Structure 1
Amino acid sequence: MRDGEDSYRISIALAGFRPDDIDIVAQQNSLIVSANRNVDEAEGTYLHRGIATRSFERRFQLADFIEAGNATFENGLLTIELRHVLPEAMKPRRIQIGGHAANDRIEGPGDRARDAA
């Protein structure tokens, strides 16, 4: 989801997981979100369990110059903030034109011979 000109957000529903179960890794141009819930078999036998308990991994391919920022986990919803950060060397810059005085001019080869005479 796009939040602004240079910010984005990824939201993933992770009902049944705790923040300690979730692992977020950002490297190069990828973001990996994985979760591993330790299910205690001593809890008993269920006829039906409505919340998934299996582990998962989700990979996101990020564009160049996208950096992962803060991550929050509220009410079973994981939100990861992303920003587009352009390196200073790649940003466009304005080049000023140097001012020349009215009597400044470019000298040609014939000008030197004329001035010497």
Structure 2
Amino acid sequence: MRNVDRRQWLKTIGLSSGFALFGGLDALALDYPERQIIANSPVKLSSNENPYGPSKRVRSVMTSTFDKACRYPFGALRGLVDMIAEKEGVTKDHVVVTGGSTEGLKATGLVYG
């Protein structure tokens, strides 16, 4: 197993969350329309808000997966864990997928204090 620092771990968790929500690399492709954003009020940077909204490609993937939105993604999660473990060269028990950074950071804090 290779050493993983906190920054790399957070990148992996972020990527994993994206895969879990949108179904793969194609959904993560940037396809923003060209437009100028002018804020009428302060932007809340603490909320990870995206002033552009989802790209056309992401919207397409989101709408194409609505029929799966009523199901728990446990089956897909196992496949995601397998893909991450293979890519990173670790066993599956070294991969943790969370629903966001708060969950993972909280668990890490509880374990390592």
TM-score, with structure 2 as normaliser: 0.21
Structure number having the greater strand percentage: 1
Structure number having the greater helix percentage: 2
With CA pairs under 8 Å and 6+ residues apart, which has the higher RCO, 1 or 2? Answer: 2
